[in-house]
Structure 1
Amino acid sequence: MTLRWGILGAAKFALHHMGPAIHAAKGAELVALATASPDKAAEFATFAPGLQRHDSYDALLADPGIDAVYIPLPNHLHLEWSLRAIAAGKHVLTEKPMTMAAAEFDQLIAARDASRRLVAEAYMIVHHPQWQKARDLIADGAIGRIEHVDTAFCYDNRAEPSNIRNRAETGGGGIRDIGVYTYGSVRFAAQAEPVALEARIRRENGVDTFAQVAGEMEGPDGSFTYSAITSMRLFPRQEVVFQGTRGLIRLTAPFNAGLFGEAQLELHRGGGQSELFRYSGVNQYVLQVEAFGRAVLQGTAYGCPLEFSKGTQAMIDRVFEAERAI
């Protein structure tokens, strides 16, 4: 069986990453794209021959030949078009953040339950084996009890003022774009939730370009301190470190694995013991599409349900509530 996919909008991310991933994934077929531009559709057709173009999003949603829809639209449009896609009877995978506030997830959860369709946020890192390994090591006590976690995700797009990430009206800002990783990844791997947070945020033209978050999170073995940096104005950096009473886990390309660098997980323990786990050639976008397809076609559990994504959005909401300007 094959899941037939359509994409709403010819976003660059869809062109370079998710479109090819859908085409390459087992059990998936990219069959349609909604765009008014024949030239943009032609770019997608270079890797997906025979791709059908619809002139509007509504026309694609009305196509009975499409089972699932991927939505890479600007942030402020995610909720509306996710709900419209569910109402059209499609399974839905929407880019992060799926909503602008945690409470809005309740609409998605209710629509998902009523429709009996799979609806999920495109949080690809939970499908990557490096994050599954980190979660398993922590749960197995490989580094003892976690005492501190620090995360960082930075890039520099100051030369792109028209980029949707630099525009307040499209729901831009570094926290919504990449805080979802520095916050949600710790929730996933450590099975932890925030207890107290402080945030120092710098803004330009209404969007956050730098945020430093510090606080405390609570996991199965107790609380630990937490810090995170996100920025759209710093030299590129990605790193996550889980520091425990008996060891340390470091992920050196935790979020854009294979693009920022080779995915590697370092495990350091007492007596100078260390192990290095390398994940060359793993495409987390393909893994995400395949996991989505198995959940729809075979009824397997999906690794990132809406309830988890709502929790990460709730943490993002708390960061904004704790904002202190710098």
Structure 2
Amino acid sequence: MNRSRDGGPRDGERDDLSARGEELRNMFNRARAFTEELLRENERLRFRVAGVEREMEQASGKTPSSVPDSVAQLTERVRALERERDDLLARFRQVEAMNRSVAARYEDIETQNNHLANLYVASYQLHATLNFSEVLDTVREILINLIGAEGFAIFWVDDRTGQLKRELSQGMGASVPEKIRPGKGPLLDAVEGQSYYADPLPDPKGVDPALPLACIPLKIGTRVIGVVAIYHLLRQKERFEPLDFELFTLLAGHAATALFSSKLYQRSEKKLSELQGFLDLLTAPSPPGT
């Protein structure tokens, strides 16, 4: 993603992200308007059915002495009202069925909108800064608030030793060491580029740093630069949901890119500072008398 000098997205990219958000809001508003229209039609039919039933009661309670109509005319009127009532009831049942279908579809669309909005916000936040610590915090927030992870760690792959260096740990205390040499199991699979998800989730008895519930490799192309290991989920979360796997895909690509870019930026800033200090020493004026 192209960035402005302050490390944030350019104006054109902000406009594109805003347009996507506006498109999601428009989709949501159209679905809500359609549902409200069906509810109004439902209410209108309810009133019409009630009116027809009242007319039938009034017609059946009249006698030949109170009205000029004949018994045959009154009978025909009652039958016509009954047919109209039956027709309205049939239409009412159709609208109720449509309401249930639309309500289910509306709920599904609302869930999808929320999922898209979450993915949009998470993706935007990942690329909103070049500060490595801030990117790590964004990944932490995604794991906690969107996936529902309670205990997890983020590791960086040391290219020289092949070890995993812990960059961040949440809810694990001292159970995750600073460095891990992956042996056989999910961590080694992740270092080799393979994701791992436990299904069904095992009973949480203890924490084994080598046996997480999920391992997501952070990849730049085919190169694995890091691993996200999830050890505990929130108590109310019994299994991984479809949105979780979409977020894992987001982490595997976007989080890897954001972390790698911010890491390079951090190193370049450090080297630039060291070089500037060296140049300052070289160009500093000599003390008087030397």
When normalised by structure 1's length, the TM-score is 0.23
When normalised by structure 2's length, the TM-score is 0.25
> Which of the two has higher C-alpha Rg?
2
The structure whose residues are more often strand, as a share, is: 1
